[in-house]
């Protein structure tokens, strides 16, 4: 188990007005809308989520870095837990021609509006009940998804990722290292249920026998 950062470069490119989100809008109402993970969350106004989640190629460097690190090859299988519209999975098919991909997401809207090349490989479902055989993927990853679960669901999801992975896995979640980052996270987040420091996340991974890699994103 090791901390390896693949996505902070993507996260840091986004501009965020933390104070506006809590002063200009009804944060509780926005969070309630966002937690439906429907059209408003993905493609509605910014206060409800992404403010329009369109393919723009930003995930290609992430796919290339992960493919290199995990030495992914044609014919191997990867799973994205919380795949959204499948943009990162698509980039894996470009970075590693011949790779086999699968994705699962709680949002039917995201899957219905997924990138066409990837849509046939996606299905609705929950991270805590993965419909796959034991050790059936060469890489299982979940990026900015698992912090949206309640604690008892989180344990199940992490153990499911461990179960379906042959060896390699990666979990990226939101976290905070100080009071400023904690405040910013609370201001900005709409769907999070688990708020932990890196040390707490690492402790949970150890307690739940997770053997894969992990990383964190911070709201600086």
Asked whether residue 131 is domain-assigned, the answer is yes
**Residue range 50-70: average pLDDT?**
96
**Secondary structure of residue 78 in the 3-state scheme:** strand
Contact assessment for residue 119 and residue 89, using Cβ atoms and an 8 Å cutoff: no
Contact assessment for residue 142 and residue 125, using Cβ atoms and an 8 Å cutoff: no
Asked whether residue 38 is domain-assigned, the answer is yes
pLDDT given for residue 25 in this prediction: 92
**Residue range 148-152: average pLDDT?**
97
Distance of CA 63 to the CA centre of its chain: 13
Asked whether residue 1 is domain-assigned, the answer is no
Q: Confidence band (pLDDT; 50, 70, 90) for 121?
A: very high
DSSP 132: S
Per residue in 153-209, pLDDT tens? 999 999 999 999 999 999 999 999 999 999 999 999 999 999 999 999 999 999 999
Contact assessment for residue 117 and residue 90, using Cβ atoms and an 8 Å cutoff: yes
Provide the CATH number for the domain around residue 177. 3.40.50.150
CA distances from residue 46 to 114, 129, 148, 185 in whole angstroms, order as listed: 19, 30, 18, 16
Query: How many structural domains comprise the chain?
Result: 1
Report whether pLDDT(9) > 90. no
pTM, two decimal places: 0.95
Q: Give Cβ neighbours of residue 136 (< 8 Å, ≥ 6 apart).
A: 77, 164, 166
Asked whether residue 54 is domain-assigned, the answer is yes
Per residue in 14-59, pLDDT tens? 878 888 888 899 999 999 999 999 999 999 999 999 999 999 999 9
pLDDT given for residue 12 in this prediction: 81
Contact assessment for residue 97 and residue 78, using Cβ atoms and an 8 Å cutoff: no
- Give residue 56's domain range: 8-217
CA distances from residue 132 to 76, 124, 137, 162 in whole angstroms, order as listed: 15, 13, 9, 12
Asked whether residue 203 is domain-assigned, the answer is yes
Contact assessment for residue 116 and residue 86, using Cβ atoms and an 8 Å cutoff: no
Contact assessment for residue 196 and residue 204, using Cβ atoms and an 8 Å cutoff: yes
Q: Confidence band (pLDDT; 50, 70, 90) for 69?
A: very high
Report whether pLDDT(123) > 90. yes
Asked whether residue 3 is domain-assigned, the answer is no
Report whether pLDDT(68) > 90. yes
Residue 105 β-bridge partners: 124
Asked whether residue 39 is domain-assigned, the answer is yes
Percent of the chain with pLDDT over 70: 100
Asked whether residue 49 is domain-assigned, the answer is yes
Q: What is the mean pLDDT of the chain?
A: 96
**Residue range 130-144: average pLDDT?**
98
pLDDT given for residue 17 in this prediction: 86
pLDDT given for residue 44 in this prediction: 97
Q: What sections of the chain are H helices per DSSP?
A: 8-11, 18-23, 27-34, 39-43, 60-69, 87-95, 108-112, 151-164, 179-188, 198-207
């Amino acid at each position: 188990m090791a901390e390896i950062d693949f996505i902070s470069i993507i996260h840091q490119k986004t501009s965020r007005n933390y104070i506006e989100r809590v002063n200009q809008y009804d944060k509780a109402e926005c969070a309630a809308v966002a937690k439906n993970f429907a059209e408003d969350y993905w493609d509605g106004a910014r206060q409800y989520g992404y403010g329009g989640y369109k393919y723009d190629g930003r995930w290609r460097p992430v796919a290339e870095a992960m493919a290199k690190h995990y030495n992914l090859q044609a014919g191997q299988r990867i799973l994205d837990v919380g795949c959204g519209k499948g943009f990162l999975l698509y980039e894996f098919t470009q970075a590693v021609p011949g790779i086999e991909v699968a994705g699962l997401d709680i949002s039917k809207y995201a899957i219905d509006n997924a990138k066409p090349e990837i849509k046939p490989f996606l299905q609705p479902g929950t991270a805590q009940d993965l419909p796959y055989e034991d050790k059936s993927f060469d890489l299982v990853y979940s990026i900015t998804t698992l912090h949206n679960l309640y604690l008892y669901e989180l344990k199940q999801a992490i153990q499911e990722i461990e179960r379906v992975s042959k060896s390699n896995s990666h979990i990226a979640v939101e976290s905070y290292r100080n009071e400023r980052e904690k405040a910013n996270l609370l201001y900005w987040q709409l769907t999070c249920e688990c708020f932990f420091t890196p040390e707490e996340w690492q402790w949970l991974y150890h307690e739940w026998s997770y053997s894969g890699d992990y990383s964190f994103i911070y709201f600086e």
